[in-house]
């Protein structure tokens, strides 16, 4: 089994890259989806988040409005740290369960963990290899605005600069070009990862 951390800046195109890894035969675990799962009503993080941030972050259906929550935490590092302390341990627990289930079925699995804050929370140390997806600041801002998200610069600034993330990369994917150019890079890296997985098992 080979654990591969996939990270990069917000709106950098990690989801597109992860999708291609999945298509090629990797197992993909999306930390954002796990975070969304543990924040649902009745799930472990829900009560703690509502207690911390109050009812202003809830929708009419009493679900957590992630856009409202994002607007709060991405302009206040202290609030972001509080949120991360609630959510990250629960995401890690769920992640470990999924890794265990996958490795039971496939001892030679290549598991790609799509984790935006992989390096910020030192989770890269648990990985066998790290992939960083790069994109220009202008493209990040354009994509965030297109998604209707406010304060794009604050959201970008809340993460470690891409230049710092690159220091931890075993592989780099430049996502400034076309989709096909990104896919070509993913295919090349996946081929290398398969060789590494075969050598280590």
What does the pLDDT look like over 74-106, one tens digit per residue?
888 899 999 999 999 999 999 999 999 999 999
pLDDT at 173: 98
pLDDT at 201: 55
Among 199, 189, 138, smallest CA distance to 9 is for 138
CATH code (residue 179): 3.40.50.300
Beta strand ranges found along the chain (DSSP E): 2-8, 27-30, 110-114, 129-134, 171-174
Helix axes of 77-105 and 44-53: crossing angle, nearest 10 degrees = 170
Tokens 């600069």, residue?
161
With 0-12 / 13-18 / 19 or more C-beta atoms within 10 angstroms meaning exposed / middle / buried, residue 177 is: exposed
Q: How many domains does the chain have?
A: 1
Backbone angles phi, psi at 126, to 5 degrees: -90, -5
Q: What is the pLDDT of residues 45-79, one digit of tens each?
A: 999 999 999 999 999 999 999 989 988 898 888 99
Q: Give the confidence band of 158 by pLDDT, cuts at 50, 70, 90.
A: confident
Q: Give the confidence band of 131 by pLDDT, cuts at 50, 70, 90.
A: very high
Residue range(s) defining the domain that contains residue 131? 2-200
- Does residue 132 contact residue 169 with C-beta atoms inside 8 Å? yes
Among 163, 173, 92, smallest CA distance to 130 is for 173
- 21: tokens are 């890894």
Of 21-35, 113-127, 139-153, minimum mean pLDDT range: 139-153
pLDDT at 38: 95
Predicted structure pTM score: 0.89
pLDDT at 152: 86
Average pLDDT over residues 146-171: 89
Among 184, 186, 160, smallest CA distance to 171 is for 186
Tokens 């302390």, residue?
85
Tokens 């990690």, residue?
14
Q: Give the end-to-end CA distance of the chain in Å, rounded to a whole number.
A: 7
């Amino acid at each position: 089994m080979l654990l591969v951390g996939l990270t990069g800046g917000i709106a950098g195109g990690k989801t597109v890259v992860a999708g291609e890894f999945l298509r090629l035969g990797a197992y993909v675990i999306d930390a954002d989806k796990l975070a969304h799962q543990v924040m649902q009503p009745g799930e472990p993080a829900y009560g703690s988040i509502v207690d911390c941030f109050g009812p202003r972050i809830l929708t009419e259906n009493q679900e957590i409005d992630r856009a409202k929550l994002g607007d709060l935490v991405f302009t206040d590092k202290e609030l972001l740290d509080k949120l991360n302390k609630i959510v990250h341990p629960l995401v890690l627990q769920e992640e470990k369960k999924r890794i265990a289930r996958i490795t039971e079925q496939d001892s030679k699995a290549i598991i790609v963990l799509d984790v935006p804050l992989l390096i910020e929370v030192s989770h890269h140390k648990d990985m066998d290899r790290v992939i960083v997806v790069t994109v220009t600041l202008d493209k990040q801002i354009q994509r965030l605005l297109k998604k209707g998200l406010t304060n794009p610069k604050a959201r970008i600034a809340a993460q470690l600069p891409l230049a710092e993330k690159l220091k931890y990369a075993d592989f780099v994917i430049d996502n400034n070009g076309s989709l096909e150019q990104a896919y070509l890079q993913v295919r090349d890296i996946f081929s290398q990862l398969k060789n590494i997985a075969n050598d280590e098992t």
